[in-house]
Chain A
Amino acid sequence: MDIHLNCPIPFTDSDRVLLAHGGGGRMTHQLISQVFYPAFRNPLLEQDHDGCVFPIEEGQLAYSTDSFVVDPIFFPGGDIGDLAINGTVNDLACCGARPLFLTVGFILEEGLPLADIQRIVQSMKRAAERAGVQIVAGDTKVVERGKCDKLFINTSGIGIVPPGIRIAPDQATPGDVVICSGPIGLHGITILSARESLGFETDLKSDTTSLNIMISELLHTIGEVHVLRDPTRGGISGTLNEIAQDAGVDILLDEDALPIPEAVRAASEMLGLDPLYIANEGLVLVILPESHAEQALPLMRGFEEGRQATVIGRIAKQSGEQARVKMKTLYGNYRIIDMLSGEQLPRIC
């Protein structure tokens, strides 16, 4: 009599995320060693410790964190992976810091194709290389299907602020100008058009990119930069309103000068949105004394991400608690640009 030994050997080569991938056992290890390590490899990561230990140089530390829940996870111009790297890199750069180390936390939904993770991890790798940062620690959790949407990513980062640099929203001073590094509204409108439910198409691409190299050059060449901010959620309006309130100054924008691409305008008109409130992911607002603008503009335009840098407004007067953002309209009068109330578009980053 033949005896068949049908020992139920578990499948370990699933092409989808299983709960066991987050269990801390063999499959977690497999995911880390086969997917994450090859992409992010560096000596600090390979300390294989509960955390990462590293020496620090002179200066101050900047530390930032951001979580990414964008829907869809792949979109024209990028995906949730490079968005997550660029987001934290840019936040550090806007503190005047040179970003050095990032940590990455993944929350994965059971059933997510491993190929999607591979693709996302590769784009994170490329984004980290471009920005010159190292991923030095990470974490993975898996939740049951339906408990999160495909995957969420958290990145935290540390950077060094060189001595003598003081960049902060409350540094905006009357006489400063506001430089916008590029076209407005690309990321938000791209995400909207990528959502199938909206049924319109554009050939727009998200502007997601890291800005730290350009910013570093700017700080190196022009010492006196007062404020750097990337106008992500809440758009230009949200960011400038925060600065106006922090510094207690009125900010005047010039409607004529706003670099709004035609397709962004058209989509905004159609959907009843205002480009000033739409999210950007590769844009920085630079506030510095007007006398430095002549030097800053060509410098920024020398970088792909700053090619269309232009002055969009100026810091007017000290107004204390009454501080407002106003825009000179096409007709020469001024209207108030208020902060957004409520949610314009959910899950944009």
Chain B
Amino acid sequence: MRFVDEYRSNEKVQTLLEAIRKKVTRPWYIMEICGGQTHAIARYRLEEMLPSNLHLLHGPGCPVCVTPVETIDYALKLATQPNVILASFGDMMRVPGSKEDLLSVKAKGADIHMLYTPLDALSLAEKNPNKEIVFFAIGFETTAPVHLIALKEAIRRGLPNFSILTSLFTVPPAIEAILSNQESKVDGFLTAGHVCAVTGNKTYHRLAAHYKIPMVVTGFEPVDLLYGIYRCVSQLEAGSYEVENAYKRAVPEQGNAAARQLMDEMLEPCDQDWRGIGIIPSSGLQLRAEYKRYSSRMRFQLRPEENRIVSECLAGLIMRGLKHPSDCPHFGKACHPTHPLGAPMVSSEGVCSAYYRYK
């Protein structure tokens, strides 16, 4: 298959592994940000092929995993209202809220549709004019523009019964939160290629310079990942700290201007709670005032409740690279994909799920 096989080629993988082995002279810790990258690393067992003193840390880049319990509880609350149809990506269905998950309330009669694209929620809105359609709009800078296109289209079609429950995150503040932690072990970053394809690399130049840390824009196939790691190690060994694009076939330096413009027009930064990590200032995106009437939070007057749960899940520490899934006493025992204690065991991009599945 074109655009896949050449980036999984064993020959190229072995060549890159050899190049990395030659380059590494001392221990390094490299963090990949994106859950898609974590999944591929686990699936192809790349870690065990790397030199033993080169360590990969798995970052917080899975939107399913970091969506706060409170927001999932909002979704559950809305889904159980008789006049509401909740539309969601399938990944969110089994993520535990404070008491239950979407799959359980669906079984009790809540009207929940699993969709592959938010645009399908518009036809739901058209077919059900007497119902409120809420789309559970989760994601990073990659997915946000898709939600916004759907919202624009809803406005154009004049669909008053469509709103979005946003849970939108941005990567750079999360990187900054990880780096500013005194305990951080991270020596270099592989940034998420498809996020950069939207945002461009500008913000990362500031972070790399300020924290003196190499940042390599990296793709998702084994050859892409190993090339990203190779470039990162090369910089670390040379003592340089630049933003480097190792995923040029997808990421232009300036990103995607049309997508960014849409985001600037409709969204504004907000403080955002990351599940397991806590609130990171300006790390989220919310609808601007002129679009607030399409915010499900506003439309349904959703307010946080005072019942923060105490979780036994180490997700936060794991996603900041301070702990490994195998450090968790519940991993593979009380916590497994059919009975997740925390979100990283649910989503296919969750680090615990990736480790459980492939290790």
Those of B66-117 within 8 Å (CB) of chain A: 94, 115-117
Q: Give the shortest distance, in Å, between A230 (CB) and chain B (any CB).
A: 24
In whole angstroms, how far apart are the Cα atoms of A338 and B358 in the complex? 8
Asked if A342 contacts B10 (CB within 8 A), the reply is: no
Contact A335–B358 (Cβ < 8 Å): yes
Contact B1 A269 (CB under 8 A): yes
Residues of B close to A199: CB separation below 8 A = 116-117, 120
- Of A1-9, A55-63, A325-333, the one touching chain B: A325-333
Beta-carbon nearest neighbor of B120 in chain A: A197
Q: Are A262 and B45 in contact (CB under 8 A)?
A: no
Is B131 interfacial (CB 8 A cutoff)? no
Q: A263: nearest residue on chain B (CB-CB)?
A: B1
Decide yes or no whether B357 CB sits under 8 A from chain A: yes
Across the interface, name the chain B residue whose C-beta is closest to A346: B114
Taking the closest CB of chain B, its distance from the CB of A233, in whole angstroms, is 16
Cross-chain contact B116 with A329 (CB below 8 angstroms): no
The docked-state distance in angstroms from the alpha carbon of A199 to that of B234 is 44
Q: Provide the bound-state CA to CA distance between A162 and B165, in Å.
A: 61
Q: Within the complex, which residue of B14, B94, B116 is in contact with A271, where a contact is CB–CB below 8 Å?
A: B116
In Å, the complex CA distance between A103 and B259 comes to 58
* Contacting residues, chain B, for A332 (C-beta < 8 A): 10
Pick the residue among B8, B116, B357 that contacts A198 (CB under 8 A): B116
A336 in contact (CB, < 8 A): yes
In whole angstroms, what is the CA distance A333 to B356 when docked? Answer: 17
Task: Report yes or no: B348 in contact with A272, Cβ–Cβ below 8 A.
Answer: yes
Residues of B within 8 A of A272 (CB): 348
CB distance from B213 to the nearest CB of A (A): 29
Q: Is the CB of A335 within 8 A of B116?
A: no
Interface size class of A (residues with CB under 8 A): 20 to 34
Instruction: Return chain B residues, CB-CB under 8 Å to A333.
Output: 45, 48-49
Does A266 count as interface, using CB distance less than 8 angstroms?
Answer: yes
Mark interface residues in B336-348 (1 if CB within 8 Å of A CB, else 0).
1110000000001
A341–B10 contact, CB under 8 A?
Answer: no
- Check: A126 CB closer than 8 A to any chain B CB: no
Residues in chain B near residue A198, CB distance under 8 A: 116
Shortest Cβ distance from A42 into chain B, in angstroms?
42
Contact of A336 among B14, B348, B359 (CB under 8 A): B359
Closest chain B CB from A239 CB (angstroms): 18
- Tell me, in angstroms, the Cα distance from A334 to B48 when the chains sit together: 10
Contact B1–A262 (Cβ < 8 Å):
yes
Counting CB contacts under 8 A, is A265 at the interface? yes
Q: How far is the CA of A266 from the CA of B8 in the complex (A)?
A: 14
| Interface status of B44 (Cβ within 8 A of chain A) | yes
Minimum distance in angstroms from B2 CB to a CB of chain A = 10
In the complex, what residues of A have CB within 8 A of residue B43's CB?
335
A11 to B317, CA, bound (A): 70
Kindly report which residue of chain B lies nearest to residue A266, judged by CB atoms.
B1
| Docked CA distance A169–B324 (Å) | 37
Scan B144-155; emit 1 where CB is below 8 A from any A CB, else 0.
Answer: 000000000000
Q: Which of A304-349 contact B (CB under 8 A)?
A: 329-336, 338, 341-342
Q: Do the beta carbons of B94 and A342 come within 8 Å of each other?
A: yes
Among residues 153 to 207 in chain A, which have CB atoms less than 8 Å away from a CB atom of chain B? 197-199
List residues of A whose CB falls within 8 A of some B CB.
Answer: 197-199, 262, 265-266, 269, 271-272, 329-336, 338, 341-342
A-B contact pairs, 12 of them (CB 8 A): A262-B1, A265-B4, A272-B348, A330-B8, A331-B10, A331-B14, A331-B45, A335-B44, A335-B358, A338-B357, A341-B337, A341-B338
Q: Apart from A329-B44, A331-B222, A335-B358, list 10 A-B contacts with CB within 8 A.
A: A198-B116, A199-B120, A262-B1, A266-B1, A329-B45, A330-B13, A331-B45, A331-B49, A335-B43, A338-B356
